[in-house]
Amino acid sequence: MQNAPPLAANEHATLVGIVRRLPDLFAVRSAVLAHGDFAPVNILIDGESVTGLLDFESVRLADPPFDVAWWAWAVGFDQPYVLDAAWTAFHEGAEVDETDPALAARVHSLQVLRMLELLTDGTTLDPEIQRIVADHLRVLLREPPDPRDR
């Protein structure tokens, strides 16, 4: 895999576990049109409401929390209180069921898969962005599936 970071044995084992669990996590679920890069940098606001979205090059059919997973990943780079303060309101706006017992595992899996996609899709990432994504992938492979983990 081009640009894939080297993984420690425990990280690799976690990745294998995630991949094996994918069919059960995502079986019998309807796909939605996902932005694919839903992050604050791609959202236009007028101070109170969203007025537009930018950067549609990653649009795809995906599981409903795909954009939620990527938004949490992007916002997670800010101070922890930013994601914590916005998490419930974001879920309400995105109509995501926070009581879904598999939500954390789905979001975690989607974050891992999206980072692997970024690192291995054959495009050339800026070396600093590649390092950040690879480092964060390793963090997610060492931690339990809580989407608010940074």
Place of tokens 């992938």: 137
What is the model's pTM?
0.83
Q: How far is CA 139 from the centre of its chain?
A: 13
Structure-block tokens of residue 21: 């669990």
Residue 26 in any domain: the answer is yes
The structural domain count of the chain equals 1
Q: Concatenate the DSSP letters of all residues of 84-108 into one string.
A: HHHHHHHHHHHT--TT-TTHHHHHH
Residue 88 in any domain: the answer is yes
Distance CA 131, CA 105 (A): 24
Residue 137 in any domain: the answer is yes
Span 33-43, average pLDDT = 87
Question: What pLDDT, on the 0 to 100 scale, is given for residue 47?
Answer: 82
Q: What is the pLDDT of residues 91-119, one digit of tens each?
A: 777 777 888 889 889 999 999 999 999 88
> 36 by DSSP, 3-state: which?
coil
Sorting pLDDT into bands at 50, 70 and 90, what band is 16?
very high
Residue 39 in any domain: the answer is no
Q: What is the pLDDT of residues 49-65, one digit of tens each?
A: 889 989 998 899 999 88
Residue 52 in any domain: the answer is no
Structure-block tokens of residue 79: 């101070």
Within 8 A by CB and 6+ apart from 123, the residues are none
Residue 111 in any domain: the answer is yes
Span 23-52, average pLDDT = 88
Q: Concatenate the DSSP letters of all residues of 47-85 into one string.
A: SSSEEEE---TT-EEE-TTHHHHHHHHHHTTS-HHHHHH
Q: State the residue range of the domain holding 82.
A: 9-30+63-142
Residue 86 in any domain: the answer is yes
Beta-ladder partners of 52:
44
Question: What pLDDT, on the 0 to 100 scale, is given for residue 150?
Answer: 32
Return mean pLDDT, the chain: 84
Residue 56 in any domain: the answer is no
